[in-house]
Amino acid sequence: ILNVEQSPQSLHVQEGDSTNFTCSFPSSNFYALHWYRWETAKSPEALFVMTLNGDEKKKGRISATLNTKEGYSYLYIKGSQPEDSATYLCAFPGSGGGADGLTFGKGTHLIIQP
Amino acid sequence: DSGVTQTPKHLITATGQRVTLRCSPRSGDLSVYWYQQSLDQGLQFLIQYYNGEERAKGNILERFSAQQFPDLHSELNLSSLELGDSALYFCASSPQGGRTGNTIYFGEGSWLTVV
């Protein structure tokens, strides 16, 4: 059974501060690592798909890094804004029969306090 | 708008009934995935179809089934419904499979309430 772990489970950050959180995944048979942003009552929004060790991707104030050898990815948010409040999910292909379906972590619930 | 369309958006039905949820993937996407999100669970992968064929199975109950049609739209059939089946069901699509590094786009979900 694939285990995708995210920490912390929840995070309160002051507006303007930067923050980061972690996704841990199995380091063997790596294919890709997906990050999503999920707001209540909306669909998960794709942020990044990372495939190469050492990959670093950026989208505005949000960036992510990937270490496939040790099985972790970090998501960074610079200068947090209230609109960044959401649950951030990472996901790893392979579930059940080890095929394409993404196995999701339980997410990091981020609350930005004004 | 992700380009993935799901209908209906909301559905209320009684225990023991059967419902069908429909998904139209993004134009050109061959893979369709179904996910379930219930109150105390994260996103649970149910099943994936690729170009009409079942590709992967996750935590899908035997009472549930799915198919993908030649026009690539997909349907998730839920039968003998129980109260615990109340959940938000997401459909997602991608050009190829999740292992290829394609972005997987999610629809807005179908809220199912079983009473």
**How many CB atoms neighbour CB A9 within 10 A?**
12
| Token pair in block for residue A109 | 């619930």
Q: Which has more pLDDT, B104 or A97?
A: B104
Q: What is the DSSP string of A27-60?
A: SSS---EEEEEE-TTSPPEEEEEE-STT-EEEET
pLDDT at A99: 58
The pLDDT tens digits along chain B (115 residues) read: 889 999 999 999 999 999 999 999 999 999 999 999 987 778 898 999 999 999 888 889 999 999 999 999 999 999 999 999 999 999 999 998 766 788 899 999 999 999 9
Residues of A in contact with B4 (CB under 8 A): 43
CA angle A41, A38, B14 (to 5 degrees): 40
Residue type, A78: K
Residue in A45, A96, A100 nearest the CB of B98: A100
User: Chain A: nearest CA to B93, how far in angstroms?
Assistant: 11
Closest residue in A to B103 (Cα–Cα): A49
Interface residues from chain A to B (CB-CB < 8 Å): 31-32, 34, 36, 42-46, 49, 51, 89, 91, 93-97, 99-107
Residues of B in contact with A43 (CB under 8 A): 2, 4, 90, 106-109
**pLDDT category, A22, cuts 50, 70, 90?**
very high
Closest residue in B to A100 (Cα–Cα): B98
B103–A95 CB contact, under 8 Å: no
Q: What is the pLDDT of residues A30-85, one digit of tens each?
A: 888 999 999 987 899 999 999 889 999 999 999 999 999 999 999 999 999 999 99
